[in-house]
A = this chain, B = another copy of it.
Amino acid sequence: MSGAEEGRELQVLDPDECYRLLAEEEIGRLGVNAEHYPLIFPVNYALDGETIVIRTDVGTKLGAADHANVTFEVDRIDRRTRSGWSVLVRGLAEAVTTEHRAELVERTRASGVEPWAPGEHGHWMRLIPQGISGRRIVPGQLPPAFGPEGYL
């Protein structure tokens, strides 16, 4: 449509690549249906295999997510080259409680997720993926706005 899009390419990422990218990051966005909206919360996360582990306080996120269909989005954006990737996980969220077997509780806590936000985060949640998809926008060979040498 415009010159800015010339040479740009959209790649679909396979699941292995999606999980590899997830393993590199530490902030994602939890999507939860609550209060008549698809609410989006940035959260710290860690991986336990392919399961996403987050910690939360008792509130909207936990109440609406437990045993519900949730999503988890992670991306990395480069405004200079107008490129980046994003991964979207669809899954089932489950609060980890003392009713779970000890081995699961231990593995969840061992994932090492550590929230940046101050305050209580005594509740742990596992997000079991049921689908994962991703895409990447690759910059063209000749970014139209400026060449690499023009960027200070």
Interface residues of A (CB under 8 A from B): 1-2, 4-5, 8-10, 26-27, 29, 31-33, 36-42, 69-71, 73, 75, 77, 79, 82-84, 86, 88, 90, 114-121, 137
The winner among A26, A27, A37, A70 for most chain B CB atoms within 10 A is: A37
Residues of B near A119 (CB, < 8 A) are 10
- B77 and A27 contact, CB distance less than 8 A: yes
Closest approach, in angstroms, between the C-beta of A66 and any C-beta of chain B?
A: 14
Given contacts A86-B42, A114-B2, A37 and B121 within 8 Å (CB-CB): no
Residues of B near A4 (CB, < 8 A) are 114, 116
Copies in the complex: 2
In the complex, the chain B residue whose C-beta lies closest to that of A39 is: B71
- B77 and A42 contact, CB distance less than 8 A: yes
Closest approach, in angstroms, between the C-beta of A133 and any C-beta of chain B?
A: 10
Residues of B near A117 (CB, < 8 A) are 5, 8, 10, 137
Instruction: From B5, B9, B10, B38, give the contact of A31 (CB < 8 A).
Output: B38
Give the complex CA separation of A4 and B10 in angstroms. 38
Closest approach, in angstroms, between the C-beta of A65 and any C-beta of chain B?
A: 10
Give the complex CA separation of A32 and B5 in angstroms. 26
In the complex, the chain B residue whose C-beta lies closest to that of A33 is: B38
